[in-house]
Amino acid sequence: MIFKHQFFNDYSETAHPACLAAVALNPTQQESGYGLDNISAHARDLIHAQIHSPNADIHFISGGTQANLTVIGSILRPHEAVIATETGHISTHETGAIEATGHKIIHTPHVNGKLTPAAIDYVLRTHPNEHSVKPRMLFISQSTELGTVYSKTELQTLRALCDAHNLYLYIDGARMAMALTAEGGDVTLADIAQLADAFYIGGTKNGALLGEAIVIVNPALQSDFRYALKQRGALLAKGRVIASQFVALFEHDLYFELARHANTCAQRLRQGLSELGFTFQTDSPTNQIFPILPNRLIEPLQNHYGFYVWETLDNNTAAIRLVTSWATPMEKVEQFLANVRQWM
């Protein structure tokens, strides 16, 4: 049996040893439950130091879909809707979770995975009154589902639109670490906290065993959020299991170090494939890349590596998705490129 190295995603490996060690530290120590323990308090302090927003509420939760449905479901009133691109995670990969909370997603076209002011303006013009749902929130991902990154100027533009039209800005941060450490990026966690009403910091895709940190910056949205967590089954009795991993990730900047490695591996793949003459669906500086390859090359690669065929473009070519992680060995990256050269 041939072992296939996986480029499917960035959570194929269990966890970074520091995160596992943090969970196992002092296993018989008694703590309060439901996120009211000392470990969770320490993790919050570390995140507060990064976001420069001491009054933000921080809650630890098991996964991204749960974070999205809990935040969006708690913020929006029954007649209110969220605007997202047609490629947005809530639009395509959450099994109708947002709709199941009773809220419509208004899908828009994207530009390189990004929500644009023009698309938002169109939604607002076509939803003018009580005979349609009321657009009330923008949903974006940083980095996007296509690996691209919003610049600080782009985020400021979205924030200005939100202020002008009384909208909330919510940011899915499943791959926030990769966006923050991308080459050429100009956005910090403090910038995110300044511009968003709420967001989450992803751990699952950046070395944690599991877990995300929801950050609610807007004071008007903080009240009773723990009730929403409990109602959605997200208020964990042993929430410190997740919080302890964020201590490991943020105590010595491991969070950023792991993401840089993931980005470096993907960008080496991108460089190598570009040098061989291949093009890409998007200009991604993060750990997801989407090269366009001939089918005759994709087939032998699939026999030796795990990856998704993302989109069939014509009878002869397709875009594939390659995702690297905090644990991707660089030798596997070089081996992949060597095999491409061999079989092209």
Domains of the chain as residue ranges with CATH? 5-11+255-343 (3.90.1150.10), 17-251 (3.40.640.10)
Q: What is the pTM of this model?
A: 0.96
pLDDT at 1 over 50: no
Split at pLDDT 50, 70, 90, the class of 143 is very high
230 with 209: CB under 8 angstroms?
Answer: no
Mean pLDDT, residues 128-146 taken together: 97
Split at pLDDT 50, 70, 90, the class of 26 is confident
pLDDT at 145 over 50: yes
221 is written with which tokens?
């949205």
pLDDT at 27: 87
Span 157-208, pLDDT tens digits: 999 999 999 999 999 999 999 999 999 999 999 999 999 999 999 999 999 9
pLDDT at 3: 66
Span 265-311, pLDDT tens digits: 999 999 999 999 999 999 999 999 999 999 999 999 999 999 999 99
Q: What SS3 string covers the chain?
A: CCCCEECCCCCCCCCCHHHHHHHHCCCCCCCCCCCCCHHHHHHHHHHHHHHCCCCCEEEEECCHHHHHHHHHHHHCCCCEEEEEECCCHHHHCCCCHHHHCCCCEEEECCECCECCHHHHHHHHHHCCCCCCCEEEEEEEECCCCCCCCCCHHHHHHHHHHHHHHCCEEEEECCCHHHHHCCCCCCCCHHHHHHHCCEEEEECCCCCCCCCEEEEECCHHHCCCHHHHHHHCCCCCCCCHHHHHHHHHHHHCCHHHHHHHHHHHHHHHHHHHHHHCCCCECCCCCCCEECEEEEHHHHHHHHCCEECEEEEECCCCEEEEEEECCCCCCHHHHHHHHHHHHHHC
